[in-house]
Amino acid sequence: MEATEWLIIFLVPHLYVTVFLVSVIDATGVPFPGRLILILAGAFASTRLEVALAIVAGTLGLVIGDHVLYLAGARGGAKLLALYCRLTLGSELCVENTLKYFRRFGTPAILLSRYSTGVRLFAAILSGSGHIAYSRFVFYDLLGSLAYTALWTVLGYVFSTQVETLLEWIGRQRVLLLIVPVAIVTIAGYRILRLRRHGRALSLRLGGPSKAS
């Protein structure tokens, strides 16, 4: 059995569960190719209803993952936040960029942060630590998560033929099953380089200033 067929046999019956779990992992900031999985989910969806349900599953996963970080920020434990910085390989530049987003855009930074990996790492934590009121956080987080999930899933659905053709070509090279591991290693390597260049994120800087209105 070719790697492409194996991937389809696994992903199609578990489409929504896979999208949900992947989105939770991706939201928490752990190095993971969430966008890639969303594109594949869209490509393997056979109807618009399946695309819509995948978007719902992905949105719920992102919101739940973000809430874990929001609560961590609200809890404010230095050891907990330091552990998060280590697990996600977050650099001080990530924190600085996130703070700049909040100062420039205010509450809508939550929506925009979904498209910037470095900012996304700490957006929910900083929201929970006092930058944004919970009700506004929920609104913008839900809106941003829905738009983000829909973008990549719909792209996969629209270009499903091209995605499947690419997967078949990669499968013939016998490296299809390495896509996700290689993507994870690449993301982790990029964060390590930023970490070495800009230093480890300081958990003390994640403490809360006044809330944005």
Question: Is the pLDDT confidence value at 65 over 70?
Answer: yes
The whole-number average pLDDT for the span 32-54 is 91
pTM (two decimals) = 0.76
pLDDT score for 189: 79
Using one digit for the tens of pLDDT, what is the confidence trace for 173-190?
566 566 777 777 887 776
Domain ranges of the chain: 3-199
Using one digit for the tens of pLDDT, what is the confidence trace for 125-172?
878 877 678 888 899 999 999 999 999 999 999 999 998 888 777 766
The whole-number average pLDDT for the span 86-108 is 74
Q: Which residues of 64-77 are buried (b: 16+ CB within 10 A; e: fewer)?
A: ebbbebbebbeebe
Beta bridge partners of 132: 212
